[in-house]
Chains A and B, each alone.
Chain A
């Protein structure tokens, strides 16, 4: 009985070793590709140190609460002013919550784009940052995957997104 357990443990250890050696070059390649000098955000934790409870609960009702750094202040202001028609869905808030959450988003917003469009970008997926991060390594068909459904569904691949962790190490793209 005890011998069986030991044999299983030894086999698992050997298997783990083989898998690690086989996939090491691949993992190395992925993380090297993700590191770019122009990255101005922290890949490990995208959320600000000081959190706003109202933002966290209200903005995660229908999707994961997107980190404020993912849009510039002008975009957050425009988006928060139009919550009655939030990409086709009524996401309206009471006035106090709307003001408080807007302040939080604006305070920790990302940089304004260099080539400012006449209208602020409202979709994170339309920012050059998002495209840069997702278009190079992923086939466009990934967004139609039944487990992904939409590019709004960060958690489909970024399993720790709710904790603000978008690090490449925690990404698992469904097959």
Chain B
């Protein structure tokens, strides 16, 4: 009983630490890369050019990423439906981007569903992030 309690509190502590720990865009790149190698055995690294094409193209639905984030993700965007301002997406101009596991998970889940009607692959996410990080401030 006591042992189980210790394991549980250790797990809770790790969960807490994991949530409060600030992530960096590089952490996400690493995470996407390891997931991509699992998803695609032929995975050979991310491409900023592929990321840019993915970002500005539509994928079967009405919207692309650029519909809200604009074709220049260093600029503020605007929600395509409500018009609410969206802060720039590129981490090179907005230091808050790609620093929270929870936010990154939430927005890829929602936006990939809106734009593609499915979840994004790890390679797609890594390509887009590589493209965003290539944008000079």
Contact = CB atoms under 8 A, between A and B. Distances in A.
Interface of A: 62-64, 84, 87-94, 149-150, 152-153, 156
5 contacts: A63-B82, A63-B84, A64-B84, A92-B110, A150-B81
A153 B110 CA distance: 21
B82 A92 contact: no
A89 B82 CA distance: 11
A88 B115 CA distance: 11
Nearest to A155: B84
A89 B83 contact: no
A153 B109 contact: no
Contact of B84 (A62, A84, A87, A94): A62
B67 to A, nearest CB: 11
A90 B82 contact: no
Contact of B110 (A90, A149, A156): A90
B79 interface: yes
Interface of A is mostly: loop
Q: Which 3 A-B pairs have the closest CB atoms?
A: A90-B113, A90-B110, A149-B83
B82 A62 contact: yes
Contacts of A62: 79, 81-82, 84
Contacts of A88: 81
A150 B114 contact: no
A153 to B, nearest CB: 5
B6 to A, nearest CB: 25
Contacts of B113: 84, 90, 92
B109 A149 contact: no
Contacts of A94: 102, 106
Contacts of A87: 81
Interface in B40-86: 79, 81-84
Contacts of B83: 149-150, 153, 156
A92 B109 contact: yes
A49 to B, nearest CB: 26
Identify the interface centre among B102, B109, B110: most chain A CB within 10 Å of its CB: B110
A156 B113 CA distance: 29
A89 B114 contact: yes
Contacts of B110: 89-92
A93 B106 CA distance: 7
